[in-house]
A and B are shown apart, each in its own frame.
Chain A
């Protein structure tokens, strides 16, 4: 293998590997965030139900 092949090969392999890793990390975190959002919504709905039963006024929930 020549020095030129090694230079191009290493540069392209590292950048491709890093790009794929970034893509996977983003995908995994998007899924986790979506799950966390659903859990938050469920919690908000649960709190609202309890408040309804207790006859408490509606409160604005922000995060």
Chain B
């Protein structure tokens, strides 16, 4: 039987949706109309309020949750279907954010570098991450025993997670077109200040909230999918049997 969401959970999820929607809207308003243009990048700097927050969700949050959940599933003491479902949900939502990271990065790169794409260390390692995420999603679709699927997906997620530090440190390890970190740099001293820094911070918070809502709903979808797994087959078999009886 399916356990429905309690009223409290429904209320929390709805509140999360409204708060994330309002905070994303505020980020867009501040980013497009309130913050000043940059001395070097002029108006193009406005893309800083969406591109890094989306990348933060894709790389660190979504992948971090998927990797930790996979690890906890693999560890026999903490093994639970919850971790497998959470990893699956986080990886799917993260894939959307990684694709957006590449698209918004290309849109920013065209006027800044003169090209949509370059085989640069940061860009290439991020593209590889997207391929690995798509591979993980393909692994999940292979039919078979749920436990075997959970095991191969958990191992796949941990192998893919090796690419995350490579993406992060790529701007330090190699000479790249991509600029260094603005906030999480080696000195931990942000190179952005005032309202621009606050808007960027709000961008990080609002996209994190949007991710939290998507993750919650996607997790629920995973629970319902597991519940309904094989139900279609049951119905088809019952219909066949009833046809046979006639």
Contacts and interface: CB of A to CB of B under 8 A. Distances in A.
Contacts of A40: 1
B50 A26 contact: no
B47 A4 contact: yes
Given A18-B214, A33-B227, A11 B221 contact: no
Residue from A7, A15, A19, A32 having most chain B Cβ neighbours under 10 A: A7
B1 A14 contact: no
A19 to B, nearest CB: 6
Contact of B220 (A8, A19, A26, A32): A26
B217 interface: yes
A38 to B, nearest CB: 10
A36 interface: yes
A3 B32 contact: no
Nearest to B17: A19
B96 A15 contact: yes
A18 B47 contact: no
A interface, over-half SS:
helix
Given A4-B32, A29-B228, A19 B214 contact: yes
Q: For the side of the interface on B, what is the size category?
A: 35 or more
Interface in B100-131: 100, 103-104, 107-108, 110-111
B218 A3 contact: no
Contact of A8 (B28, B111, B227): B28
B110 to A, nearest CB: 6
B44 A4 contact: yes
B46 interface: yes
Interface string B84-112: 00000000010010011001100110110
B1 A10 contact: no
A12 B1 CA distance: 37
A26 B110 CA distance: 38
A12 B24 CA distance: 9
A18 B218 CA distance: 11
A40 B2 CA distance: 11
Nearest to A9: B107
A46 interface: no
Interface string A1-40: 0111011101110110011001101100110111011001
B181 interface: no
A10 B227 contact: no
Given A10-B107, A26-B217, 8 more contacts: A4-B44, A4-B47, A6-B107, A15-B24, A22-B217, A30-B4, A36-B2, A36-B231
25 contacts: A3-B107, A3-B108, A3-B111, A4-B43, A4-B44, A7-B47, A7-B107, A7-B108, A15-B24, A15-B96, A15-B210, A18-B96, A19-B210, A22-B214, A22-B221, A26-B220, A26-B224, A32-B224, A32-B228, A33-B224, A33-B228, A36-B227, A36-B231, A37-B2, A40-B1
